[in-house]
Amino acid sequence: MDQRTYNQFCATARTLDLVGERWTLLLIRELLTGPKRFGDLQAGLRGLGTGLLAARLKHLEREGLAQKVTLPPPARTPAYALTEAGEELGPAVLALARWGLKWAMGERRETETFHPGWAVLGLRACFDADAGTGLRAVYEFRIDDEVFHTRIDEGTIEALHGPAQHPDATVTMGEETFVALTAQELTLARAIETGAAAVSGDAEALRRLTSLFRLPAPAARTGTAV
């Protein structure tokens, strides 16, 4: 199948030639949090058929945005990872996430799937570097069966799938509570107060947690003509 192109000598158009097809940016979103096996990508991209997933991965390989790798022991299984060029799409994807939190989210539709692991990238998108100044702490989040963690180090953030070796603080809640937090229908303090969420660990790390991640206030896209 021939690759579609805008036929414009423009950096934006050339970029969209590479990543503008349906599912491609979401595939990059999945790989931005680390190498993934084919089955992992299928699980994170429900609705994307096996054939189309394989085609999109081949496209990313062909264009130098992703490559095949072998996961380290004990897994030792084939996987896909972003190349340097693919990794540099990270800021653009995070900017789209921040824009979407303000202008596109709204209420969850009945037909929409949700994967708590998507928050790994969301934490990076909403991190307030100024609020993290002077803090070194590791937070572990347990959302039903999903576990991920983030390491804050003097205004920088690293967010990864899987448990932390030595978390300073742990936050536990169900998916519905987490969705309500993401939609800004609930605060973490209220979730803890009602028992919908539980926290444990270092008191100072927990105190500073609520200031580390700032969700933009939702806004309507309709405007007034000028």
> Does the pLDDT of residue 1 top 60, yes or no?
no
pLDDT (mean) for 84-102:
95
pLDDT of residue 140: 98
Cβ atoms 174, 116 nearer than 8 A: no
Indicate the residue type of 58.
K
* Percentage above 90 pLDDT, the chain: 80
Mean pLDDT of 73-82: 92
pLDDT at 117: 87
Q: Which residues contact 83 (CB under 8 A, 6 or more apart)?
A: 64, 65, 66, 67
CA 113 to chain centroid, in Å, comes to 15
Band (pLDDT 50/70/90 cuts) for residue 222 is: confident
Would you say residue 114 has pLDDT above 80?
yes
Residue that has been written with the tokens 């932390």 in this structure: 164
Average pLDDT over residues 49-62: 97
> Is-contact 170 201, C-beta < 8 A?
yes
Binning the chain into helix, strand and coil, the percentages to the nearest 5 are: 40, 20, 40
The confidence score (pLDDT) of residue 88 equals 98
**Domain ranges for the chain:** 11-88, 116-212
Number of helices (H) and strands (E) in the chain: give both, helices first. 10, 7
What is the model's pLDDT at position 4? Answer: 84
What is the token pair recorded at 130? 């100024």
11-88 in CATH: which number? 1.10.10.10
Please report the pLDDT score of residue 2 as a whole number: 60
Mean pLDDT in residue range 194-220: 94
- Which residues contact residue 169 at a Cβ distance below 8 angstroms, ignoring those fewer than 6 apart? 137, 138, 139, 140, 199, 200, 201, 202, 205, 206, 209
In this predicted model, what pLDDT tens digit does every residue of 135-184 receive, in sequence order? 999 999 999 999 999 999 999 999 999 999 999 999 999 999 999 998 88
All residues at 6 or more sequence positions from 57 whose CB lies less than 8 Å from its CB, including other chains: 27, 38, 41, 66, 80
Query: Identical fold at 11-88 and 116-212?
Result: no
d(CA 184, CA 154): 27
For the chain, give the longest Cα–Cα distance: 61
> Mean pLDDT across the chain, nearest whole number?
93
Region 68-95: mean pLDDT is: 94
Please name the fold of domain 116-212: Nonspecific Lipid-transfer Protein; Chain A (3.30.1050)
Mean pLDDT of 92-104: 94
Long-range contacts formed by 164-168: CB under 8 A, 24+ apart:
164/138, 164/139, 164/140, 166/138, 167/138, 167/139, 167/140, 167/201, 168/137, 168/138, 168/139, 168/201, 168/202, 168/205
Q: For the segment 13-51, what is each residue's pLDDT rounded down to a tens digit?
A: 999 999 999 999 999 999 999 999 999 999 989 889 999
3-state DSSP call for residue 55?
helix
